[in-house]
Amino acid sequence: MIQGTGSDVGKSLLVAGLARAFTERGLRVRPFKPQNMSNNAAVTADGGEIGRAQALQARAARVAPSVHMNPVLLKPQSEVGSQVVVQGRMVATVKARDYQAWKPRLMSAVLDSFSRLAGEADLVLVEGAGSASEVNLRAGDIANMGFARATDTPVVLVGDIDRGGVIASLVGTKAVIDPEDAALIAGFLVNRFRGDPSLFADGMRLIAERTGWAALGLVPHFPDAARLPAEDVLGLAGSESRGPGAVTVAVPVLPRIANFDDLDPLRAEPNVSVVLVRPSTPIPAEAALVLLPGSKTTIDDLEAFRQEGWDVDLRAHVRRGGRVLGLCGGYQMLGNSLADPHGIEGAPRTVAGLGLLDVDTVMTPEKRLAAVTGTSLPDGVHFAGYEMHIGATEGPDAARPLLRLADGRLDGAVSADGRVAGTYVHGLFAHDAQRAAWLARLGTASDGPGYEAGVEAALDGLARHIAAHVDCDRLLALAR
């Protein structure tokens, strides 16, 4: 089990790299994260949803993602509450304080999923969540030491030297956790080192002496990590600046932005500058396309969009002849109205949309989770992606659909002038031909490597990087 001294220390990428490295050795590897918190989810082959990081780790292990790889997924809807997804299906919406009482009953699902994966694998790589030293949350824990103790799984603790204080964070973890928990930690890794490794040799020895844990590796910063899908919106840079002639795609960053890996293929394009529009910043006038991303709480995010004045900026963008694309929640925002009669996102209500598409949306309790393929209209270009949404959208502009799915269904809507469009399908830009068609509409060409091929190359490079700097033989010998 790979645990961390804190969030965002690189646990997810380390597990992905180890998964590919051990898979290359001929082992049957499965990734597993007992509990995850993310609004960047992936659809699984068995019709559920898991954290995006576990889907990437499954890809690294060259297996299809399964709901059992992330049996408990928390999808934040507010500062104090989240949807709870268990083995791929949403079961409740709970407040953070109330969730503490839920955790013991969720352990049975966690152990069930872990047992299923262990039964089909030579090696299960388990990823912890947050920090191993959050002793205030230790009672009933299912994500870190609670799981490790329940399954007698050895732990490797990861510290991030790039953020500073790595010696204190590793030694301090030993100081504050329960001695029986500390006994499960077999070794440590220091991640994201920059510079001459010999300069930290004394640091590695000091940590080992103070903790009694084995030093398993000093892992340098891996630049190509930016080519892999990020799980957390914190992993997105503020903007991507390209050379002269690059077209600008502006993306307002909503408080509950979801499935933001839709942006990754565009960010990898040399001829595209993706500008993430942060609060208190106007939508740039030079944008060729404004992309409204997915949202976990569409109505609240629409209200936040208006509070920032982005609705005024967006109308000015359209008047200048700019294009707009809404994805999933962003699509719903572009219509005339959004109705939530069942109170799925809070109190029942109906609000006015942005009015750029002549459609209306009604939120429905049923959630659609499915991988889809098809062609875009009217150009007939193939795409592959996935649906992950609630709600039904209808209206005159839906008579001009954006996509035709392989099962014959039509999806999305296009304005009469063709400049505003929306769709429920995520992952459009990951398909090279579809991305090239969109860039052609913006007056530029797709000039980067194939996106999926680039992800594979980055995973291979990550595996080689980790194999060069981590004692993988010793790590494997620690497993039981």
Catalytic residues: 328, 426
Cα(42)–Cα(73) distance, rounded to whole angstroms?
11
Instruction: Specify the 3-state DSSP secondary structure of 25.
Output: coil
Say if CB 25 and CB 70 are below 8 A apart: no
For residues 24 and 140, is the Cβ–Cβ distance under 8 A?
no
Comparing C-alpha atoms, which of 456, 2, 15 is closest to residue 231?
Answer: 15
Phi and psi torsions of 208, nearest 5°: -60, -40
- Widest distance between CA atoms in the chain: 70
Strands 247-252 vs 272-277: parallel, antiparallel or unpaired:
parallel
* Rounded distance between C-alpha atoms, residue 179 and residue 450, angstroms: 49
How far apart CA 251 and CA 451 sit, in angstroms, is 20
The one-character DSSP state at 199 is G
d(CA 373, CA 434): 11
Strands (E), 116-154: 123-126
Amino acid at 1: M
E-assigned strand segments in 296-356: 323-327, 337-340, 349-352
Pull the structure tokens for residue 240: 């991507």
Classified as helix, coil or strand, 247 is strand
- CA torsion angle 293 296 297 298 (round to 10): 30
